[in-house]
């Protein structure tokens, strides 16, 4: 999906409860191009109150954000992105 919105917004993937090696294997297997990191000490997930994946943070240019703790599916994710781009 990051290709679909290229140039309009930025994606960042964060792996949780995993190793860098496992994250890199996942990125390689699925051809993920977005920057991806590992929340090794669980600080980022704790900051947003996340307890499981997938979880989402949508942040605008002003730094205002909305955190969602739910499965969105492709259409749900697209709806959230379109809402963010329209604001």
Query: What domains does the chain contain, in order, with CATH numbers?
Result: 13-86 (3.40.30.10)
How far is residue 58's CA from residue 11's CA, in Å, rounded to a whole number? 9
Q: Per residue in 27-78, pLDDT tens?
A: 999 998 889 989 988 888 898 888 888 889 988 888 888 889 888 999 999 9
Q: Per residue in 25-38, pLDDT tens?
A: 999 999 988 899 89
Evaluate whether 85 touches 8 at the Cβ level (below 8 Å). yes
- pTM here is 0.74
How far is residue 19's CA from residue 29's CA, in Å, rounded to a whole number? 15
C-alpha of 39 from chain center: 12
Contacts of 51-57 with C-beta under 8 Å, sequence gap 24+, read 53/16, 56/80
């Amino acid at each position: 999906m990051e290709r679909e919105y290229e140039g309009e917004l930025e994606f960042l993937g964060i792996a949780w409860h995993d190793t860098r090696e496992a994250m890199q294997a996942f990125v390689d297997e699925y051809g993920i191009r977005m920057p991806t990191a590992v929340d090794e000490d669980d600080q980022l997930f704790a900051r947003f109150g996340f307890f499981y994946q997938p979880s989402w943070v949508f942040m605008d240019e002003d730094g205002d954000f909305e955190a969602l703790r739910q499965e969105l599916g492709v259409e749900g994710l697209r709806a959230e992105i379109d809402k963010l781009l329209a604001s």
